[in-house]
Amino acid sequence: MGVIAIGVVPMGVISLGAVGMGLISVAAVNMGVITAGITTMGVAWAGVVGMGPIRLQLSPPAIAQVKKESTMYPTKPEAEKKASEMGCNGAHAMGGEWMPCSSMDEYVKAYSKQHGSH
């Protein structure tokens, strides 16, 4: 207990731990005025499951913000351009879109060579 409490079951103005209780609390399970955790109760809260009038929407982790490179292209010329960058030729249709290389086998070979896979 105290102004700043850190531990398994901390209680303080600011508490950090497994099961926290405090004015500002960050824990797996916690209660307080401003809380963040997996299961949480607070006036303002952020977590997987929680209870309270104000839910804080935190930005997703930076890893989720990394733009994934597409392997599908809306036009054949775009897929052919990517094929040239990958070291293969042509493009092949996949559903209503296009993929680089003349076939899926050629694409897998070029992708593997480019990314060091076998």
Question: Do 107 and 101 meet the contact criterion of CB atoms below 8 Å apart?
Answer: yes
Q: Which domain does 94 fall in, by range?
A: 76-115
- Share above pLDDT 90 across residues of the chain, in percent, rounded to a whole number: 25
Q: Is residue 68 situated within a structural domain?
A: no
Q: Is residue 36 situated within a structural domain?
A: yes
Query: Does the pTM exceed 0.75?
Result: no
Judgement on whether residues 94 and 51 belong to the same structural domain of the protein: no
Query: Does position 81 have pLDDT exceeding 90, yes or no?
Result: yes
Judgement on whether residues 93 and 46 belong to the same structural domain of the protein: no
What pLDDT was estimated at residue 60? 56
**pLDDT classification of 66: cutoffs 50, 70, 90:** very low
Q: Is residue 83 situated within a structural domain?
A: yes
Number of domains in the chain: 2
Judgement on whether residues 81 and 33 belong to the same structural domain of the protein: no
Question: Do 81 and 91 meet the contact criterion of CB atoms below 8 Å apart?
Answer: no
- 56/63: higher pLDDT: 56
Judgement on whether residues 46 and 11 belong to the same structural domain of the protein: yes
How many of the other CB atoms lie within 10 Å of CB of 73? 19
Q: Is residue 26 situated within a structural domain?
A: yes
What pLDDT was estimated at residue 102? 96
Question: Do 2 and 9 meet the contact criterion of CB atoms below 8 Å apart?
Answer: no
Judgement on whether residues 45 and 12 belong to the same structural domain of the protein: yes
What are 104-113's pLDDT values in tens digits? 999 989 988 8
